[in-house]
Amino acid sequence: MILCRRIDSPIGPLMLAADDSGLRHIEFRDNSHPADRRDWHGGSNDILQATEAQLGEYFAGRRQAFDLPLSPQGTPFQLQVWEELARIPFGATISYAQLAQRIGNPAGTRAVGAANGRNPLPIVLPCHRVIGADGAMTGFGGGVPVKEFLLRLEGSLPAGQAGLFAL
């Protein structure tokens, strides 16, 4: 059974969803690729409580890495990309081309971008740390202003990017 709960955050409400095996979704209010919620039930469990606590610490500047059981659902390629996202250090950014190189598919920049866009666990699997090769703030499931907010929070908004938006 997938349990879900809504939490408040500095970037707006987030919907968390988990089953007994781990965290399955973190969704923004205006998510680009919303999950199918037909099997979700309101409630809470230890995983959702830990996720809320750890996100609170992250937004307060007291957490740089998450320690949660994760259970994202995707294709083998998507899972490979998402696993690599987890290796991008706090405060760092990489390009989509670099991400494609890291998974051994240097010609797969567009496919990596598509998988990145379908990441069901943003923030925890930090897809916001992937930027354009020229430092541009490219698409993000929560919107570019949220991406800029997260990068600013982590101290990694690329040089020359003052940010176009403020939250």
Which residues participate in catalysis according to the annotation? 127
- What are 6's strand-pairing partners? 15
Taking alpha carbons only, the member of 159, 139, 161, 155 closest to residue 92 is 155
Tell me which DSSP letter residue 6 carries: E
For 63, the token pair is: 């957490």
User: What is d(CA 55, CA 51) in angstroms, rounded to the nearest whole number?
Assistant: 6
- What 31-35 contacts at long range (C-beta under 8 Å, 24+ apart), as own/partner pairs, is 31/141, 31/142, 32/117, 32/139, 32/140, 32/141, 33/117, 33/118, 33/141, 35/120
User: What is d(CA 156, CA 167) in angstroms, rounded to the nearest whole number?
Assistant: 17
